[in-house]
Amino acid sequence: MQARVARQQARGLCTTLATRSSADTPRTNELDIVMLAPKLRRAVFKQAGAGATREQIRISIEHLKAQGIYGKQGEPVAISDFEPPALLGDSIEEHFRNLGELAAHPYLRMAEEFARADDSSFPQMPEAAQWRMQSGWTRYADGGASR
């Protein structure tokens, strides 16, 4: 594999993102790393990338070598060319930000309501002399009474 990468770099093919592709062979990049299936790639990356530069490939090789995985064959990956759901935004980053906001919205709304609440709606804190010093939970009611 290292010889293959060296030949590609020597011939100036470093900017080619997909080095092979067929219906039953996963698409790989210059470093022989399996890439996303075509339908999934189009959904995640709406615009085609410009390709990797020689410098980006050099840095990638350094990182892979530092991790001890450069030149190693990975596990075979099944091609999963399914139709993904539409993104909730214009990019994958925006999609996950929007998902997070949707999940957090009810709690954010409650926190904002709590922050705007009038102090008079909270129970009064008991005086220090009324505190129960015992293990476990103590519930204080309005007026400082404890249960």
Compute CA 21 distance to the chain's CA centroid, rounded to the nearest angstrom.
27
pLDDT value for 66: 96
Q: Which helix (H) or strand (E) holds 129?
A: none
Give the Cα separation of 5 and 33 in Å (integer): 12
Give the residue among 83, 16, 10 at the shortest CA–CA distance from 49.
16
**pLDDT tens, per residue, the chain with 147 residues:** 444 544 444 334 333 333 444 456 777 888 888 888 888 888 888 777 777 889 999 999 999 999 999 888 877 777 777 788 888 998 889 999 999 999 999 999 999 998 888 877 777 777 887 787 888 888 877 776 776
Helix, strand, coil percentages, rounded to 5, for the chain = 45, 5, 55
DSSP state of 20: B
Dihedral sign computed on CA atoms, order 27, 82, 60, 93:
positive
